[in-house]
Structure 1
Amino acid sequence: MSATVRADLAALLARYDDDTWSAVANRGLLRRARKDLGTVAVAVQHETDVAVELTVGAHTVTMTADGPATARCTCPSAVVCQHVVAAGLWLAEHPSGTGASPVGADDGPRDGMVDVLHDELMALDETALRAAAGLAACRSAHQILDDLDDAPTVTRGRALEVRFPHPALVARYPGGGVAGVVLDAPVRAPERYRVAAVLAWQRAHGLVLPPPAAPSARTRPSAAEESLAAARDRVRASVVAVLRDTVRIGVSHLSPAVVDRLTTAAVGAQGVEYHRLARALRGVADQADLVLARSARADDLALLDEVAAAHALVVALDTAAADGRAPAALVGRARTAYEGTRPLDLVGLGGVPWRSGTGYHGVTAVFWSPTLGRMLTRTDARPVDLAGFDPRARWVQPAPWSGLSSPADTAGRAITLTGARLSADGRLSGAGPVSARATPLDGSALVDRLPVRTTWETLGGDPVRGLTGAGDAAEAWVVLRPASSSDARWDPAEQVVRWQLADGEGAVLDVELPWSRLHAHAVDRIERLGDSLPADALVVVRVRRTRGRLVGEPLSVIDPARPADPVDVLHFDDVPRRTRARTGLVAKLLAAGTPDARSAAGTATDGAGPSADGVAGVPAPVAVLRSLVERRAQRGTTALPGDVLRVEVAAAHVRLRDVGFGVFTPPASDVDPAELLLRDLFVIQQVEQAYA
């Protein structure tokens, strides 16, 4: 019996690669353990039916078939120590006390063993999971998976792997049951994530275990839950009413009373823990306030889009409540949660200063993480009325992470970040003892580490996320290698500089930057740069959808030929004046001795301005319906007979169905005109996303 335990344990340990050992302990302990194997005697002291005892120098390690995670050592360490790692490495090489090759010790995956591991995970039922981790961990594991916006990804290698999007966690299963699941980052209550990894693997292969049944005492909702449900019903009804009233009145003819109602609705939504709806309503109220004040940053069509999205969200919440559900993807979370993660390798791509319509300003640094395969951001922000904070000055002031002199020190460097905390949407926290080590990169080494796109066909990611896809702000940043670029054009009416980047197939991405005091430096830099990009240069942009088309916001230019400081951060860096003549509006105004018109407009255009080019790439019938909806919603529906609007919309729907858009169904005869417009506009937004 003991020989079987030792053989099984040796086979399990033989499937541990460096990444798995580093997840069990850390890379430093792994290095020390390998050194110990050359200087310290290791031997099997005793074997039982359930465990193997090994001596590692003066210490004794006891290891069961579950593997290193539950091993015990006589040294004072409270966690997996170097003696446990050394014992595991030795046992993997000596499965029977001889020099025979260990099972599964080849460099590549063995299909037969991988199939065995797969079968082990698929055979774990609710009883086995509960026995291994406990009832509370099983309930929490189901909730973890249900709350994720994107399902974990599963892969097969020497071990089976499950990658969680948040927290940034990789669970490896080399064998050994639930306790044998190895997590590569510290998390609270790790048994929850071990069970979640098993459940995720099963779901990815067609097996969905039901969550444990609720206790009999909880089959009926409590008085507090019933009170919350009733309050939520009232809030949803009031939100629907105010959103539809904005269209009945007309988004171009709003009154202060409507803005007050929107603000009150946002407070009410927050009070009943509809966090996502509250945030959406605050955005609508802010935009409505700008429209009411006739601000240069106001855009009634942008307001209408936000109203339609908020209306769709509250209708979805209404439908979920009728089914007795409150999905986390729709409800949202009270605050951003930051989770600890393993050491991260980052590449700094630059930074951008910004100012929001809600009274905050700050600076955001952007990073590519080869470790996680995604973009990450780090933001410093303060209220605009807080004295002493300047987003542009913050770029060169002391950094929040020890080991860096300033955020500017991250651009164009490889950074190893230890002790970092990360949110689900890719934001790095500056709190806590986080240390960074920066290594300069030349241009070619930097480019080799980046996910470079040479065609614009797949820009924008998943075409239709809908309401349950919360989106990821960091995912909007992309690295492009344009085949050519146009000269920059300044639009004096919109106060926007426009720059076109073309790929090798002729597709064009409009890069736009609105004038503001914070953007003035970058606007000037783009006008200087124009069509004279260095050969094979990369451009880092943030891609957003604007009424059915993709628009890029510039961050930096990367020159592969530069041996040092290859990242040119457009918002902050200065470069020598180019030899070619400046062709932008600044040059013309300076030559004429005329003050720059942007100086007078700076205070009025701190936010992103509307697109001047309208909808591009969307089928004409969709654009026609959007135009109809916008025209009617701007003027209001109160004085318009409902039948007139329904006839107009029905005719537009017929044209859309004739060209294959079956999603536009005939409007019901009793539908409220405002509701009809809002529902149509939300569907139009989804179609435009698909064509962006």
Structure 2
Amino acid sequence: MSGSADVAAVLARYDEDAWVALANRGLLRRARKDLESSSVRVVADHGADVEVGVGEVTVRIGVAGPSQATCSCPSAVICQHILTAGLWLAAGAVAPAAPDAGESASGAADALHAELMGFDVETLTAYAGLPGYRWACQALDDADEPPVLTRDGYLSVTFPRRGLTARYLGGGLDALLLDEAVPHVERFRVAVVLAWQRAHGLVLAPPPPLKSRPSEESRSRVESRQRLRGTVTAVLHDTVRVGISHLSPAIHERLVTSAVWAQGVEYHRLALLMRRIADEVELLLARSARADDLALLDEVAVAHALVAALDNAAGEEPPTLLGRARASYDQVRRLDLVGLGGRPWRTGSGYQGLTCLFWDAAGSRMLTWTDARPDTLPGFAPRARWTQPGPWTGLSTPAAATGRRIVLTHAQVSPDGRLSGVEATTAAVTELRGAALLDALPVRESWGELAVRRATGLRDPADQSSMWTALRAAGSLPVQWDGVAQTLRWPLLDGEGDVLTLEVPWSRLHAHAISRIEALGGALPQGAGVVARVQRVRGQLVGEPLSLVLPERADEIDALHFDPDPGSTAESALVAGLLAAGAADRPTPPDARVDDAGLVPAPVAALRSIVEQAAQRGCGGTVPGEVHSRLAQGHAAARAVGLSVFAEPDPSITPAESLLRSLYLVQQVERALG
């Protein structure tokens, strides 16, 4: 069989996306023009590959495909001559190798599947080297979500976090085609093969562990982490021993110090938890209306469990327990987004900022861009930032992204879905009208579909991006102002009559949104949707509205925090009264916290009540054995209804330790059954 026929058989599998992944659309257009105007012919057939003349140059291409082809022109990268030769061969200028009898597109995909499944450890290690094979195995082990696999005329593997797609059209490891340039491409190709094999039940042997003597720096960090874990455990025990309703500034200082220390030893997840606990304690000390001692207790129980898990895994902590620094970003070649509006915010810990929301349809996820500063820094105002330049070249202001299609090139995305405002990222902005806008969004009409991904354990953190969605309500109830909680509430109904309450806490930054929603009076325009962040708080669905989707209007996305009311210019009496009274702002966190406690058996609810009562008043001065006795009764009642996870409490541990252990078990059962 001739080499040209074999090459033509491989190239016949290439579709538009595969050709674009080789270079870019502009080069592909020029190659197609060359195909019409240049003389293209087979110069020589060498069996393993074929030489194709394109005008005055010669292209040599084999079964590994255009990515490994060479051209006699001076270009050091894939040139239009290589694409022209490949297009010419793929178009049938040379008869491809005849398929086996009865072979179909699915049969070709099966053959490609067999090739990927046939690579063994020795082959992959020889190709990428032992460090490359080790890197590929670790990259898959550390992935937050598994790669997405598809098979059609060829096989493809997409890594959601990076937005990178690899295509296999035959021809061996060198022919694995990645749609963006990456360093050390061999190790990525090995990761693609391993991902495909693992998804089909084949797990190759892991690489041997590294054998190296620990450095002085690593030994120092191990010792520092050990001391930190002891310090954090002690301060968490003291919050329960003293009583979460009776905490002191000294406890707050210890929490802040622990958070800084945890960040320094790269316990990123623990550092975030300790910062949140410290912020909550600060609100309690300030007697803020937003303070919630029971929410604080839940955070303390999670932090306590995380420290225990880190203790058990000391020296071999998995990434899910360590967490990642927020400054860690991955480059994505191209992102096709829809701008959904923005919100200004101010936290209780002294930061303010602007966050904009984008829908990534290809990745089926929400992404955010945030610009934040300490509120003591002069010259920065979250509301003014909405109409100031940036964040990317090609986008005039954050406001200009609302309701439009934004194509980002060379974007930087963090693992938790944050977009970086680096100058290297460029944006192309186009209009998105009518039904196309709603079709691009994850619209939900039944509130039963809004189950936020639950955190069922320390290795499975909550998915923040899954909280954002587009709601299409069947009806709504009148807007209500809660004077005690200083919060505007707007109940939405779905077709089954279930209620989801949208809430906007009072803040001068939120005054405009409160005025807009108050003017609506609870009545949504016909066919309108609401973009909101939804979470479950103590069994009830609660959302934070961001914008309205109005397909019947010229500007389909109405940013509630910024856009003017098209139907009225009257001043809100509610907002005017709050401003005149000097009402204090309720700080709002930039990231929501999930409390997905649903309906649980009565003994579990009773056990939570036992823990909360003891932790609120403090267990340091209780009669010896009293806490253990009450917890033992609560555990026994839970076991009686079949929840064997509630074993007999250990009488040898302190009351504070027992309370936090019991509460963490209650949380896991609530989330599992909620």
TM range (shorter): over 0.9
Counterpart position of 2:499: 508
Counterpart position of 1:395: 386
1:450-489 aligned within 5 A: 450-489=441-480
User: AA paired with 2:123?
Assistant: A
Counterpart position of 1:82: 80
Out of 306-315 and 598-607, give the one that drifted further: 598-607
Counterpart position of 2:519: 528
- Deviation at residue 122 of structure 1 after TM alignment: 1.2
Distance in structure 1 (CA, Å) of the matches to 2:575 and 2:342: 29
* 1:414 maps onto 2:395 in alignment: no
1:92-171 aligned within 5 A: 92-94=90-92, 97-98=94-95, 110-171=105-166
User: AA paired with 1:126?
Assistant: V
- Report if the CA contact (8 A) 2:453-2:466 is conserved: no
User: AA paired with 2:559?
Assistant: V
Which string of whole-angstrom CA distances, capped at 9 and with x for unpartnered residues, describes residues 626-683 of structure 1?
2222111111111123532223223323333344433333322323221222122223
Counterpart position of 1:202: 197
Corresponding residue to 1:178 among 173, 181, 188 = 173
- Report if the CA contact (8 A) 1:494-1:609 is conserved: no
- Change in CA separation of 1:515 and 1:290 when aligned onto 2, cut-off 3 Å: same
Distance in structure 1 (CA, Å) of the matches to 2:624 and 2:140: 45
Distance in structure 2 (CA, Å) of the matches to 1:491 and 1:597: 16
- Deviation at residue 439 of structure 1 after TM alignment: 2.0
- Deviation at residue 131 of structure 1 after TM alignment: 2.0
- Deviation at residue 210 of structure 1 after TM alignment: 2.5
Distance in structure 2 (CA, Å) of the matches to 1:604 and 1:575: 24
Distance in structure 1 (CA, Å) of the matches to 2:363 and 2:32: 27
- Deviation at residue 507 of structure 1 after TM alignment: 1.9
Counterpart position of 1:50: 48
- Report if the CA contact (8 A) 2:22-2:179 is conserved: yes
- The alignment partner of 2:246 has SS state of coil
- Change in CA separation of 1:466 and 1:572 when aligned onto 2, cut-off 3 Å: same
Corresponding residue to 2:415 among 397, 414, 424 = 424
Which string of whole-angstrom CA distances, capped at 9 and with x for unpartnered residues, describes residues 526-545 of structure 1?
12223310112111001233
- Report if the CA contact (8 A) 1:477-1:542 is conserved: yes
Corresponding residue to 1:24 among 22, 25, 35 = 22
- The alignment partner of 1:342 has SS state of strand
Counterpart position of 2:563: 573
Distance in structure 1 (CA, Å) of the matches to 2:591 and 2:242: 25
Which string of whole-angstrom CA distances, capped at 9 and with x for unpartnered residues, describes residues 131-150 of structure 1?
22222211111121122122
- Deviation at residue 76 of structure 1 after TM alignment: 2.8
Which string of whole-angstrom CA distances, capped at 9 and with x for unpartnered residues, describes residues 101-124 of structure 1?
9869x9x97221111111111111
Distance in structure 2 (CA, Å) of the matches to 1:416 and 1:407: 14
Counterpart position of 1:238: 231
- Change in CA separation of 1:66 and 1:333 when aligned onto 2, cut-off 3 Å: same
Instruction: Give 5+ residue unaligned stretches, structure 2.
Output: none
Counterpart position of 2:258: 265
Instruction: Give 5+ residue unaligned stretches, structure 1.
Output: none
- Report if the CA contact (8 A) 2:262-2:270 is conserved: yes
1:361-376 aligned within 5 A: 361-376=352-367
- Deviation at residue 614 of structure 1 after TM alignment: 11
- The alignment partner of 1:347 has SS state of strand
Counterpart position of 2:639: 657
- Deviation at residue 464 of structure 1 after TM alignment: 3.4
Distance in structure 2 (CA, Å) of the matches to 1:410 and 1:289: 36
Distance in structure 1 (CA, Å) of the matches to 2:271 and 2:162: 25
Give the % identical residues: 53
Counterpart position of 1:10: 8
Distance in structure 2 (CA, Å) of the matches to 1:535 and 1:617: 34
Aligned Cα RMSD in Å? Answer: 2.8
* TM-score, normalised with respect to structure 2: 0.93
Distance in structure 2 (CA, Å) of the matches to 1:508 and 1:534: 18
- Change in CA separation of 1:654 and 1:502 when aligned onto 2, cut-off 3 Å: farther
- Change in CA separation of 1:121 and 1:38 when aligned onto 2, cut-off 3 Å: same
Counterpart position of 1:326: 317
- Deviation at residue 598 of structure 1 after TM alignment: 8.2
1:253-332 aligned within 5 A: 253-321=246-314, 324-332=315-323
User: AA paired with 1:301?
Assistant: L
Distance in structure 1 (CA, Å) of the matches to 2:40 and 2:61: 14
- The alignment partner of 1:372 has SS state of coil
* 1:337 maps onto 2:328 in alignment: yes
Corresponding residue to 2:38 among 30, 37, 40 = 40
Number of residue pairs matched? 672
- The alignment partner of 2:234 has SS state of helix
Distance in structure 2 (CA, Å) of the matches to 1:609 and 1:346: 21
- Deviation at residue 361 of structure 1 after TM alignment: 1.1
* 1:678 maps onto 2:660 in alignment: yes
- The alignment partner of 1:124 has SS state of coil
Distance in structure 1 (CA, Å) of the matches to 2:396 and 2:261: 44
Counterpart position of 2:60: 62
- Change in CA separation of 1:496 and 1:183 when aligned onto 2, cut-off 3 Å: same
Distance in structure 2 (CA, Å) of the matches to 1:608 and 1:34: 49
Out of 487-496 and 636-645, give the one that drifted further: 636-645
Distance in structure 1 (CA, Å) of the matches to 2:592 and 2:215: 48
- Report if the CA contact (8 A) 2:596-2:670 is conserved: no
- Report if the CA contact (8 A) 2:515-2:575 is conserved: no
- Deviation at residue 478 of structure 1 after TM alignment: 0.5
Out of 543-552 and 414-423, give the one that drifted further: 543-552
- The alignment partner of 2:585 has SS state of helix
Distance in structure 1 (CA, Å) of the matches to 2:600 and 2:487: 23
- Deviation at residue 222 of structure 1 after TM alignment: 4.4
User: AA paired with 2:393?
Assistant: S
Which string of whole-angstrom CA distances, capped at 9 and with x for unpartnered residues, describes residues 520-577 of structure 1?
1111211222331011211100123323443211101111222x10111111111134
Distance in structure 2 (CA, Å) of the matches to 1:335 and 1:423: 7
Which string of whole-angstrom CA distances, capped at 9 and with x for unpartnered residues, describes residues 284-317 of structure 1?
2222222223333332222212211111111111
- Report if the CA contact (8 A) 2:283-2:290 is conserved: yes
Counterpart position of 1:630: 612
User: AA paired with 2:560?
Assistant: L
- Report if the CA contact (8 A) 2:344-2:353 is conserved: yes
Distance in structure 1 (CA, Å) of the matches to 2:69 and 2:596: 64
Which string of whole-angstrom CA distances, capped at 9 and with x for unpartnered residues, describes residues 345-389 of structure 1?
211111111112332211111111223222111111112111111
- The alignment partner of 2:584 has SS state of helix
- Report if the CA contact (8 A) 2:67-2:78 is conserved: yes
- Report if the CA contact (8 A) 1:93-1:101 is conserved: no
User: AA paired with 2:34?
Assistant: D
- Change in CA separation of 1:572 and 1:363 when aligned onto 2, cut-off 3 Å: same
